[in-house]
Amino acid sequence: MSETRYTKDHEWVRQEGDIAVIGITDYAQLQLGDVVYVELPEIGRTVEQGKEAAVVESAKAASEVYAPVSGEIVEVNDALKDAPEKINDDSYGEGWLVKVKLSDPSELDALMDSDKYQESLS
């Protein structure tokens, strides 16, 4: 498994070959509270780094999830439709949101590593 990278908007991305797995961080899900609904994009849609890729709704608020990298959506986590709480229970595992075929893997270089992300929270 490759290193997880982070955005200032509390998304994470993990590269697996030419695919990027994307979700929201544990910090983000804690801030949102209980997730009650997830709006996922269509498979085949192209997302652009920094633009909206999904929406996560909690009892508190709706929050856009921005794509940390650009590419084509190749898979969405359909399990979240019936069990959006997976994001609260396991935001880095079963709570992933989308998988993107990377169009520019070098975009990952601009993202924070774990240490830098932790520093940004304090």
The 10s digit of each residue's pLDDT in 104-114 is 999 999 999 99
Give the architecture-level CATH label for domain 4-104.
Beta Barrel (2.40)
In the chain, domain spans = 4-104
The long-range contacts involving 32-36, CB below 8 angstroms and separated by at least 24 positions, are 32/56, 32/58, 32/60, 32/61, 32/63, 33/58, 33/59, 33/60, 34/58, 34/59, 34/85, 34/88, 35/84, 35/85, 35/87, 35/88, 36/84
Q: Which amino acid is at 76?
A: V
Per-residue pLDDT of the chain (122 residues; tens, 9 = 90+): 358 999 999 999 999 999 999 999 999 999 999 999 999 999 999 999 999 999 999 988 899 999 999 999 999 999 999 999 999 999 999 999 999 999 999 999 999 999 999 999 98
User: What is residue 2's predicted lDDT score, i.e. its pLDDT?
Assistant: 59
DSSP three-state, residue 86: helix
108/111 Cα distance (integer angstroms): 5
C-beta separation of 74 from 100 below 8 A: yes
User: What is residue 1's predicted lDDT score, i.e. its pLDDT?
Assistant: 39
